[in-house]
Structure 1
Amino acid sequence: MDTTPSRSADSTTGTAPGAAAATGTVSGMAATAAPAPAGTPAPVLPPAAAPPGDQAARETLEDYTLRFAPRSYRRWSPMVVATTALGGIAYMADFSIGAGIGLAHGTGNALAAILVAAVVIFVTGFPLAYYAARYNIDLDLITRGSGFGYYGSVLTSVIFASFTFIFFALEGSIMAQGLELGLGLPLWLGYLISTLMVIPLVIFGMKALSRLQVWTTPLWLLLMVAPLVYLVATDPGSVDRFLAHPGTGGDGSVNTASVLLGAGVCLSLIAQIGEQIDYLRFMPPKTRANRRAWWTAVVTAGPGWVVLGAFKQVIGVFLAVYLLAGTGPATATEPIRQFTGAFDAMLPSWLVVPLAVALVVISQIKINVTNAYSGSLAWTNSFTRITGRYPGRMVFVLVNLGFALALMEADMFSFLNAVLSFYSNCAIAWVVTVATDIVVNKHLLHLSPHAPEFRRGMLRAVNPVGVVAFTVASGLSIAMYFGALGGTLQPYSPVAAAALALLLTPLTAVATRGRYYLRRTDDGIAEPMYDSEGNPSATVLGCHVCRQEFERPDLAACATHDALVCSLCLSTDRIGDHLLPPQPVRT
């Protein structure tokens, strides 16, 4: 799928050189604002339009929270980006999820549920990962231009932020269980330690996270895979017991209701693609020279994360069945107990607990720096759009950690499956809606703009295509989950969320004829948005508000000054002084 944009004057690549000044086109691509005509008093910028403090000057620290990630910052190779992104899926929750499904519904139903969920997650995650890597924007920015509008996507930002603190709480609970077993620390103290220890790492964004993930991944893989290989090799009967496990009160047969109930829990992880995208947006430009490595990294670290995730869920079922006779179902779903039992079969007793605790702690750090990081991006996006203020990403790191700590202290782990099953309905509706808009509305129906747009002033405030599809799909599926439509339909709530989103997204686009995607097609800059290979342009231009320089895709012409303004300054312009006027959009 190649999405090289057209160069037509009515596309989001900008107008042709020499476009009329009436459209707001800035001719002359100097890297600073054009001077005002002689005798014109210097413009007085309204205080609301000024950027908050010196945040714009510290983009390396802020990691381009609300905007396009520029080429000058994206210095990592495709494989480093992929390794960093995959390091973020080192969570232990998969082992608990798999164990819970397997013990409740039996191995056959659990394996089928894991497979169904993995296929759905891979298929829906692929177009999102591609757009993030190709155009260097995160999932919230993709969502804005893929059916939701500038303010409409606040809905999904909150959904994604909720995902990050729910899974932070889950991983923190697992680490606290490890610290309790290994060091005798009370759970409340373990919760606090697991929360505070990630702050120093997540402050410094992508640079620190890439080093952490690359260096810890080999050890994590060794500790995870070695006990499984040993148990299978030394106790072949464990495989037979695993395959034959019937589940609680079951007969071992595979049935649709059990598979869908299990798949609903697994599908709560569908929003993980958002965290993968927070890394994939830093991919280097796709060129002929790096094409193979680029595609390998995008597929592996994008939708391909679910392959490793599904494998971990299967391991969770295996270890739970292996330990069931000795520990009982109450602790067989706890990863620290699972790996303690596995290590106990292959190592001296004095090494068992330290290695199990080491695995849990490494996993928790690897995933929870990602949860804290991605959550801070999502909260900052929402807050800045609603209030027009940009307090900095670090503020929302602390907010996200506060929510997670509250969930841990409330013992979320004890009702894990219920939380995840409920959440999955919202997550499925969101991801399927955006993926459908990209594949169907953009590439098949041509009703949605081909290239993504995220800048304020270029997008409508709310687009009914995504908002209607998401609201109806998530609302009806949640009603089904709680039994409002009868017990027979209850297991089918994830299917309803996916099917309704898949159906309503193109139907709403056709009904509205795609009129609610763009507010303008011309951003007032003659410089092309994309280079000859379809990558975002690296041309550097200046924002006259914050006096910083940014690459072409991050700017638009200013409505009241013969100059340019960056996307963050547009977001913090509370009176709309810099926004270009609406423009008739050709449909």
Structure 2
Amino acid sequence: MSVEPQLTAPDSGRQLPPAGPSAEQAVADHTVADHAAAGHLRPDQAVTETLEDYTLRFAPRSYRRWTPMVVATTALGGIAYMADFSIGAGIGLTHGTGNALAAILVAAVVIFVTGFPLAYYGARYNIDLDLITRGSGFGYYGSVLTSVIFASFTFIFFALEGSIMAQGLKLGLGLPLWLGYLVSTFLVIPLVIYGMKALSKLQVWTTPVWLLLMVGPLLYLVATDPGTVNRFLSYAGAGGHGGVNTASVLLGAGVCLSLIAQIGEQIDYLRFMPPKTEANKRTWWTAVVMAGPGWVVLGALKQAIGLFLAVYVLAEVGPAAATEPIQQFKGAFAAMMPPWLVIPLAVVLVVISQIKINVTNAYSGSLAWTNSFTRVTKRYPGRMVFVLANLAFALILMEADMFSFLNGILGFYSNCAIAWVVTVATDIMVNKYLLKLSPHAPEFRRGMLYPVNPVGVVAFVAASGLSIAMYFHALGDALQPYSPVAAALIAFVLTPLVAVVTKGRYYLRRTGDGIDEPLLDADGNPRATTYTCHVCRQEFERPDVAACRTHDAVVCSLCLSTDRIGDHVLPAEPAAP
């Protein structure tokens, strides 16, 4: 079957109908009402919500009207979280400055190297990390595993940021922590409803104020009291032994590596990058590197600053409170501001940071949960349902005082996150570009992929399972610090190994989607030609549609996902003899 694209009449600007039976005739043959009865969401309801920011689907060229640097600024605004200050302080106060800085550097290198191919793929082909994961070793249903892991990342870090904000509200306004948790949770709901358009404005306008409040105190302390630098560099940690040792570095790096899944939130913005052309390629690459793997440079600096400020306020507030960002910045502002301004400024910084990151956490988490639910149940309940569900999970963690056992949660979680990100990055770098066993062009549509691809699933399950066992001392105390290393190495080795053993046969269920026009244009960008989905009657660009199994028409990716009877899904191609 071949389906012709809609063409634009040069004299009128109107779209000419496709050749063959019209979309209206196709709907008459197999009505929208029939599909609704079979379990579909009302087309108008699904379209209204998913087209606000192209939830669960390819982001079309017609929507991507931001410049590369606006996208980059928006994405970088999403890493304004204060958790880095707590993470760096916690590692340093436990293991000492030398071990902490080495751990931060090791984690940053791993995150940058694995994040680069993912960021490039998301920006180049305008799909989020879940859609990338589907076609990069996991399969259509196999990536549900990683969607749940990413969703867990968002509510864990939402809870962490909400806890930090509640600490600030307690200090500044006297609110009890339980009430601060509620305020920090419900504050983001109005902001996250509207998707990318609202988030881009919020991040661009608040970033300069946030940077000034964060960097200003550090520069002042270093300039006016050089002794603070010496005390910071010589701090030996709780044990007081000093020196750098491998076990302490790896334990610290394991906590830092829990942030590896942050690349997923960066890609939620990078998927809105404009097409890469000869005219904009330098700016395009700069934006991708800055907002993609480059986020970890700022993240690592924040972790080091958090340790610096913790050491600075340690004698005054004690080790428990020294890991709280509100106490760190209160001490820093006190050295340079009049007393009446100290607490208000510290609270403003914490609140701005929490809002900037938690709108992203709530937004990205809702996408991940909705994606998983829609694939498994073939129903689209609406993204707002999962915004509220994600916030509920986060609130439970906050009320359980997760801040007090932060390092334990992050150390355990990092093993799953590392296994996932390294598996996908390896599939892109090695299986796609080196071995050429994985299809180069992105694929995420139902019917085009096998339900489960053993390449990614086996590598991920083996890497995460063994590393978690190591983390919980199942393989002995001596190996426990090496669990993040094990997660990365096992994923890196097994991903190409399983691809070679299976000869890459479980990537694509079909090599053609029934449409003659290629997915990519001459510059390698997704084509912008529009087609009309005969189920929801909306127009979608070339990468988001496939031919219908039962009609001479096309179906969009969301309608394919919610087709409970499989009426539209193309059959598998016959196996090669």
- TM-score, with structure 1 as normaliser: 0.94
Q: Is the 8 A contact 1:520 1:585 kept in 2?
A: no
CA apart distance, 1:43 = 2.9
1:275 aligns with 2:265: yes
Counterpart in the other structure of 1:561: 551
2:383 corresponds to = 393
**Structure 1 residue aligned with 2:29:** 42
Distance 2:43 2:533 in 1: 15
Q: Structure 1 CA distance, aligned partners of 2:347 and 2:306?
A: 17
Pairing 1:451–2:455 present: no
CA contact (8 A) 1:95 1:333 kept: yes
C-alpha distance in structure 2 between counterparts of 1:424 and 1:35, whole Å: 52
Give the partner amino acid of 2:29. Answer: A
Of 232, 247, 269, 1:257 maps to: 247
SS at match of 1:556: strand
**In the aligned structure 2, how far is the partner of 1:239 from the partner of 1:431?**
35
Indicate how the Cα distance of structure 1 residues 331 and 37 shifts in structure 2: closer, same or farther if over 3 A, else same. Answer: closer
Letter in 2 for 1:161: A
Q: Which amino acid aligns with 1:221?
A: L
Distance in 2 (alpha carbons) for counterparts of 1:59 and 1:539: 22
By how many angstroms is 1:519 displaced? 0.4
The equivalent of 1:338 in structure 2 is 328
Matches within 5 A, 1:424-435: 424-435=414-425
AA partner of residue 224 (structure 1): M
The aligned amino acid for 2:348 is A
What amino acid sits opposite 1:413 in the alignment? F
1:385 Cα deviation after fit: 0.0
CA offset digits 1:521-575 (Å, max 9, x no partner): 1000012211111110000110000011100110000000010000000000011
Contact between 1:537 and 1:551, CA under 8 Å: does it hold in 2?
A: yes
- Which of 544, 552, 557 does residue 534 from structure 2 map onto? 544
In 1, Cα distance between the equivalents of 2:47 and 2:566?
22
| Matches of 2:186 and 2:366, distance apart in 1 | 15
Q: Which residue of 2 aligns with 1:244?
A: 234
Q: 1:212 to 1:511 in 2, by over 3 A?
A: same
State the distance in 2 between where 1:180 and 1:279 align. Answer: 33
Q: CA deviation at 1:328?
A: 1.0
What residue number does 1:438 align with?
A: 428
Label 1:414 to 1:136 Cα distance change in 2 as closer, same or farther (>3 A).
same
Looking at structure 2, the residues matched to 124 and 374 of structure 1 have their Cα atoms a distance apart, in angstroms, of: 20
Contact 2:46–2:380 (Cα < 8 Å) also in 1: no
Contact (CA 8 Å) 1:81, 1:297: kept in 2 or not? yes
2: CA distance, partners of 1:39 / 1:465: 42
- Other-structure match for 2:357: 367
> Which has the larger displacement, 322-331 or 469-478?
322-331
Alignment of 1:484-503 (within 5 A): 484-503=474-493
Offset of 1:254 from its aligned partner?
0.2
1:151 and 1:385 in contact (8 A); partners too: yes
Amino acid at match of 1:454: F
- Residues 157, 99 of structure 1: alpha-carbon distance in 2 compared, 3 angstrom cutoff: same
Partner SS, residue 528 of structure 2? coil
Is structure 2 residue 108 aligned with structure 1 residue 121? no
Question: Among residues 369, 374, 383, which one is paired with 2:373 in the alignment?
Answer: 383
| 2: CA distance, partners of 1:533 / 1:512 | 32
How much has 1:29 moved relative to structure 2?
A: 4.6
CA distance in 1, matches of 2:404, 2:65: 43
After TM superposition, what 4+ stretches of structure 1 lie above 2 angstroms from structure 2?
24-34, 36-53, 59-62, 584-587
Hey, what's the Cα distance between the residues in 2 that align with 1:398 and 1:274? 20
Paired AA for residue 489 in structure 2 = A
The answer to whether 1:478 aligns with 2:468 is: yes
User: Residue 251 of structure 1: CA displacement?
Assistant: 1.7
Judge conservation of contact 2:5–2:530 (CA < 8 Å) in 1: no
Q: 1:391 to 1:337 in 2, by over 3 A?
A: same
Using structure 2 for the length normalisation, give the TM-score. 0.96
Give the letter aligned to residue 355 of structure 1.
Answer: L
Write the distance in 2 (CA, Å) between the matches of 1:38 and 1:411.
56
Count residues in correspondence: 564
In structure 2, C-alpha distance between the alignment counterparts of 1:248 and 1:181, rounded to whole Å: 26
- Residues 53 and 39 of structure 1: CA distance in aligned 2, closer, same or farther (over 3 Å): closer
- Residue number in structure 2 paired with 1:63: 53
CA shift at 1:249, angstroms? 1.1
Confirm whether residue 405 of structure 1 aligns to residue 392 of structure 2.
Answer: no
1:152 and 1:216 map into 2 onto residues whose CA distance is 38
Percent of aligned pairs with the same residue?
A: 80
> Would the aligned equivalents of 1:82 and 1:297 in 2 still touch at CA under 8 Å?
yes
Question: Following TM superposition, by how much is the alpha carbon of 1:42 offset from its aligned partner in structure 2, in angstroms?
Answer: 2.6
Is 1:205 the counterpart of 2:195? The answer is yes
Listed as ranges, the matches of 1:208-247 within 5 Å are 208-247=198-237
Query: Could you say which residue in structure 2 is the equivalent of 1:315?
Result: 305
State the Cα deviation string for residues 243-280 of structure 1 (Å, max 9, x = none): 00001113211000000000000000000000000000
Q: 1:301 aligns with which of 291, 305, 315?
A: 291
Aligned to 2:82: 92
Distance 1:54 1:184 in 2: 47
Deviations 1:343-393 (A, max 9, x none): 000000000000000000000000000000000000000000000000111
Give the letter aligned to residue 42 of structure 1: D
Q: CA deviation at 1:326?
A: 1.3
Partner of 2:2: 25
For structure 1, the residue ranges without an aligned partner over 5 or more in a row are: 1-23
Give the Å deviation of 1:25: 2.4
Deviations 1:258-309 (A, max 9, x none): 0000000000000000000000000000011111110000000000000000
Shift of 1:55: 3.1
Contact 1:261–1:492 under 8 Å retained in 2: yes
Three-state SS of the structure 1 residue aligned to 2:381 is: coil
Q: Label 1:577 to 1:247 Cα distance change in 2 as closer, same or farther (>3 A).
A: same
Distance 1:471 1:494, change over 3 A: same
Name the residue aligned to 1:513: 503
Equivalent residue for 1:328, pick from 300, 315, 318 = 318
Match of 2:11 in 1: none
**Aligned-residue offset at 1:159:** 0.1
The aligned residue for residue 286 of structure 1 is 276
Give the residue type in structure 1 aligned to 2:509: R
- Contact between 2:170 and 2:176, CA under 8 Å: does it hold in 1? yes
How far apart, in 2, do the equivalents of 1:74 and 1:116 lie?
A: 35
* Alignment RMSD (CA, Å): 1.7
Matches within 5 A, 1:66-145: 66-145=56-135
Is 2:136 aligned against 1:158? Answer: no
Distance 1:469 1:350, change over 3 A: same
**1:447 counterpart SS class:** coil
Q: Deviations over 1:483-519 (max 9, x none)?
A: 0000000000000000000000000000100000000
CA distance in 2 between counterparts of 1:37 and 1:368 reads 42
Distance 1:38 1:160 in 2: 40
Q: Is the CA contact (8 Å cut-off) linking 1:265 and 1:417 kept in structure 2?
A: yes
Which residue among 174, 190, 200 is the counterpart of 1:184?
A: 174
Deviation per CA, 1:31-57, whole angstroms, max 9, x where unpaired? Answer: 757427999973344432644352343
